[in-house]
């Protein structure tokens, strides 16, 4: 058999690692090595894409509310402010919990952009996935949805695109009518999607007196789910101090039942009687916030009762993401 001639790189421009585009796994690597992409620069790219970012919203204004809208709130919107402002042909950019037909984003007929938060994503960095979708939505034709895709590993993140000084102010809706500014012009598919979404939505209200606390109504009982920014171990200690002292509830008929873990933050959950609405939660939640602040400031070792309370709280944690 004749010997294979060695491949030469002569005449090929060598690219820097940061300049190498993402291509198909079995295609030649754009770096010019002669190997397939998956065996060359694709290895690092695949690792970067799949590596889980524990707190994807860290550094954004309203991190706790980002988590709540991603995991807990059915229907809500937030007006987003981009660094340097939006393009001239884009009136506004709005974050939405979900969009019809599970679209990742939508460029409306008037040029405005809706970005969905609760969609499935292709990588381990939710912030990078959302930033990629947002950039494509800004450039797509008006009246068009944005499709999902595999996100480049070196793309920008939300922290690179959003103004860190702008307020993050969610507006919770009772349904998904914000999808359709003109209900008479929607397609049958969107109308059916809207009807299904409204039927499945759990009534939810954001408390006004404390940050990132959301009351919700279910058939058997109501709940308060409160996303908190404190480190998990410190927060567990503080809640255990309150629980052991009998001061972790929101009043008669309520109790702290456990917590979620979501995107690197803890979300304590209280069971409430069905007669306790969101307004009735405001004062007890504000008072609990004061007790919690005092417990967080304590560095005394946990007592035996507090350690038992902490163990019970730890056993009642559920990881959402």
Per-residue pLDDT tens digits for 308-321: 999 999 999 999 87
Which of 10-19, 48-57, 133-142, 216-225 shows the lowest mean pLDDT across its residues? 10-19
**DSSP character for 29?**
P
Query: Does the structure show a pLDDT above 60 at 16?
Result: no
pLDDT value at residue 42: 67
pLDDT value at residue 122: 79
Residue of 228 and 50 predicted with greater confidence: 228
Using DSSP's 3-state secondary structure scheme, residue 265 falls into strand
List, in sequence order, every residue forming a beta bridge with 106; answer none if it has no partner. Answer: 114, 145
Give the position of tokens 């970005």: 115
Contact between 285 and 292 under an 8 Å Cβ cutoff? The reply is no
pLDDT value at residue 10: 43
Q: pTM of the predicted model, to two decimals? A: 0.83
Which one, of 131, 321, 140, lies nearest residue 227 by Cα?
321
Q: How high does pLDDT run on average in the chain?
A: 89
pLDDT value at residue 7: 45
């Amino acid at each position: 058999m004749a010997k294979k001639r060695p491949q030469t790189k002569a005449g090929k421009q060598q690219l820097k690692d940061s300049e190498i585009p993402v291509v198909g796994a079995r295609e030649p690597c754009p770096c010019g090595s002669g190997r397939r992409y998956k065996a060359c620069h694709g290895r690092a790219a695949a690792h970067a894409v799949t590596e889980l970012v524990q707190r994807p919203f860290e550094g954004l204004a309203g991190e706790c509310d980002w988590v709540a809208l991603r995991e807990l709130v059915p229907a809500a919107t937030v007006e987003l402010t981009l660094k340097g402002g939006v393009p001239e042909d884009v009136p506004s950019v709005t974050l939405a919990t979900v969009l019809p037909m599970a679209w990742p984003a939508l460029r409306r007929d008037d040029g405005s952009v809706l970005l969905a938060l609760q969609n499935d994503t292709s990588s381990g960095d939710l912030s990078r996935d959302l930033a990629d979708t947002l950039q494509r939505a800004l450039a797509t034709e008006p009246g068009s949805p944005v499709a999902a895709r595999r996100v480049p590993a070196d793309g920008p993140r939300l922290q690179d695109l959003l103004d860190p000084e702008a307020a993050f102010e969610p507006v919770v809706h009772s349904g998904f009518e914000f999808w359709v500014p003109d209900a008479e012009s929607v397609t049958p598919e969107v109308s059916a999607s809207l009807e299904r979404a409204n039927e499945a939505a759990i009534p939810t209200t954001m408390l006004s007196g404390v940050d990132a606390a959301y009351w919700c109504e279910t058939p058997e009982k109501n709940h308060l789910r409160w996303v908190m920014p404190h480190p998990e171990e410190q927060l567990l200690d503080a809640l255990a101090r309150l629980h052991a002292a009998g001061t972790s509830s929101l009043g008669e008929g309520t109790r702290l039942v456990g917590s979620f873990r979501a995107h690197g933050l803890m979300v304590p959950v209280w069971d409430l009687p069905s007669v306790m609405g969101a307004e009735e939660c405001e004062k007890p939640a504000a008072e609990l916030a004061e007790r919690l602040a005092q417990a967080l400031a304590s560095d005394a070792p946990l007592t035996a009762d507090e350690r038992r309370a902490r163990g019970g709280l730890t056993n009642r944690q559920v990881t959402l993401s």
